[in-house]
Structure 1
Amino acid sequence: MSKERKSTVLLQHHLKQLKLPTMLKEYPLLAKSCSREKCDYPTYLLRLCEKEVADRQRRAMDRRIKAAKFPLLKTIDSFDFASQKSVNEPLVRELLRCEFIDQYENVLLIGNSGTGKTHLATALGFAACCQGCKVRFFGCTALVTQLLEAREDRQLQRMLTQLQKQDLLILDELGYVPFSKAGSELLFEVVSRAYERQSLIVTTNLPFENWTEVCGSERLTGAMLDRLTHRVHIIEANGSSYRLDQSRKRLAKQQKRAAEN
């Protein structure tokens, strides 16, 4: 084996051992590129390291997005602010910087069904993933069900501990299904543990005065609201249903085509 070939084999072995897959993949092409540009060795090494770091950050971001378990991946670019004029766009844009997570602040998205609350919550969660935060998305009913099942299996503390490891919890669609007394108490436990330790995004179709319909106890509801609203950004979405508007437009187009034929 030639000396040059031996060096190449050893380099590839060491890069594999050090778990630097991008450097392993990119070093030959980058070496040729830097040779043509007559770059010095530190510049070549810097560029190679930059590629490894960038690829590692991208893979980590992809893992965070997958771990968040968004029902559908939505970004702010696809949200139609023009159709939902009640939504405070400047506030949403500010929240996309995710400084509220650093401050352990909450976001409440309140409004009618179909106005894009889940879309906005997901977009904020996606932005948080891109900025290095650990995020987990739950439908409220599904979360309460999982908590009840975990309690039955004597795994409740383990689940609560896992939830506390997140930087941001998204609780979607609070208000569509009332909870049992036990379910409400477990949801309160999640909110209570998150208070001033992590951030919550909650979407709901109910005004605050009607939360007792879902949570049952006025005392528990008051305590939950007290924690959620202490340091909070409230976004109201009170326009017409986007899904209903789209259905009406499709129906109008179908009727128009039928009349033309």
Structure 2
Amino acid sequence: MTMNTQLTLDQLRSMNLYGMANAYEAAMTLPVHEQPAADMLLGKLVDAEQLFRKEQSTKRYLLQSKIRYPAILEQVHCNAARNLTRDQLLSLSDCSFIRRGENILITGATGCGKSYLACALGRQACSLGYRTLYFGMNRFLERIAQTKLDGTFVRVLNQIERTHLIILDDFGLQPLDATTRIALLQILEDRYGKQAIMITSQLPVAQWHDVIGEPTIADGIMDRLVGNAHRLELKGESLRRKKLDKNV
């Protein structure tokens, strides 16, 4: 490697152009007669930098999202027995529902793959540049209660408002208290028609009103949740049980 090449690499890295630096270093290790012409090299460097930044952004969004499972859409089973078609999954895979501010409600019996599907869609959102936050519902209840105690409630609401996709997993395992009902209504009000929320639950959507409690607030929450939602009602036997039986 020549001194000029090393100087260029040092300058690129000092400007945080790591994708360009790596591509330039790779090109300069080729024999002289195989090195690309200047115009082609410039194009390759720009492409490499763009790809590098996208990969770094995806890693950062995935880390911040706290998504529960390392799920991917390619491993989601689509068949008639699950009441989930490949076309349904493909229609959501570009995450344009987030841009349109549409919600996704995923229901089904325990073990049927609701959380896995939600996490796969969440990871896909991160890879496409959408900020995502995952909450198990119990942790969400704890988080809201804690923010009320330590005075960070408004700050947390602002963080959630800036997030493109919120995932609430296992909704309905316990009734909501007054504080959480108000918080959820506020979150939905801030996001309605602008950003998306995804909810999984063992309970059919028709029973959510009772879980929320306080009819007036429940009406407001359900109106904002269901009005523009994609509803996926997963069926079939427990995938966890099938996997366990297969390993026995």
Common fold by TM > 0.5: yes
Larger radius of gyration: 1
Mean Cα deviation higher: 37-46 or 120-129: 37-46
* 1:225 and 2:215 matched: no
Q: Which stretches in structure 2 are left out of the alignment for 5+ residues?
A: none
SS in 2 for 1:72: coil
Q: 1:250 to 1:22 in 2, by over 3 A?
A: closer
Farther off after superposition, 128-137 or 84-93: 84-93
Contact 2:105 2:229 in 1 (8 A): yes
What amino acid does structure 2 have at the position aligned with 1:109? Answer: I
2:128 aligned with 1:131, yes or no?
A: yes
Counterpart of 1:212, as a letter, is H
Structure 1 209/25 Cα, relative in aligned 2: closer, same or farther at 3 Å? closer
Instruction: Give 5+ residue unaligned stretches, structure 1.
Output: 252-261
How far off its partner does 1:38 sit?
Answer: 5.8
Q: Is the 8 A contact 1:106 1:228 kept in 2?
A: yes
- Residues 108-154 of structure 1 deviation map (CA, whole Å, 9 limit, x = unaligned): 11111111111111111111111111111111221121012111111
Q: Is the 8 A contact 2:93 2:124 kept in 1?
A: yes
Cα distance between partner residues in 2 of 1:39 and 1:139: 51
In structure 2, the residue matched to 1:66 is 63
Within the candidate set 95, 98, 104, 1:98 is matched to 95
Q: Quick check: 88-97 or 153-162, which moved more?
A: 88-97
Whole-angstrom CA distance in 2 between matches of 1:141 and 1:12: 49
Give the counterpart letter for 1:206 in structure 2: L
- Check the 8 A contact 1:68/1:135 in 2, yes or no: yes
Please report the TM-score for the alignment, with normalisation by the length of structure 1. Answer: 0.87
- May I ask how many residue pairs the two structures share in their alignment? 248
Give the secondary structure class of the aligned counterpart of 1:81: coil
Indicate if the aligned counterparts of 2:188 and 2:221 stay in contact, CA closer than 8 A. Answer: yes
Checking the alignment, whether the CA contact within 8 Å between 1:167 and 1:198 is kept in structure 2 is yes
Q: Which residue of 2 aligns with 1:211?
A: 208
Write the letter of the residue equivalent to 2:112.
T
Counterpart of 1:14 in structure 2 is 11
Q: What RMSD in Å do the two structures reach over aligned CA positions?
A: 2.1
| Residue aligned with 1:203, SS | strand
**More displaced stretch, 39-48 vs 106-115:** 39-48
Residues in 2 aligned to 1:24 and 1:247: alpha-carbon distance in whole angstroms: 48
Look up the equivalent residue of 1:247 and give its one-letter code: L
Partner SS, residue 181 of structure 2: helix
For residue 117 of structure 1, the aligned residue among 90, 114, 117 is: 114
User: How far, CA to CA, are the matches of 2:134 and 2:51 in structure 1?
Assistant: 26
**With structure 2 as the length reference, what TM-score do the two structures score?**
0.91
User: C-alpha separation between the residues in 2 aligned to 1:8 and 1:248?
Assistant: 59
User: Structure 1 residue runs of 4+, over 4 Å off?
Assistant: none
Give 2:199's aligned amino acid.
V
Q: How does 1:167-186 map to 2 (within 5 A)?
A: 167-186=164-183
Answer yes or no: is the 8 Å Cα contact 1:164–1:194 preserved in 2.
yes
1:192 matched to 2:189: yes
Q: Find the counterpart in structure 1 of residue 33 from structure 2.
A: 36
Identity over the aligned pairs, expressed in percent?
25
Is the contact made by 2:111 and 2:240 (CA closer than 8 Å) also made in structure 1?
yes
1:75 paired to 2:101: no
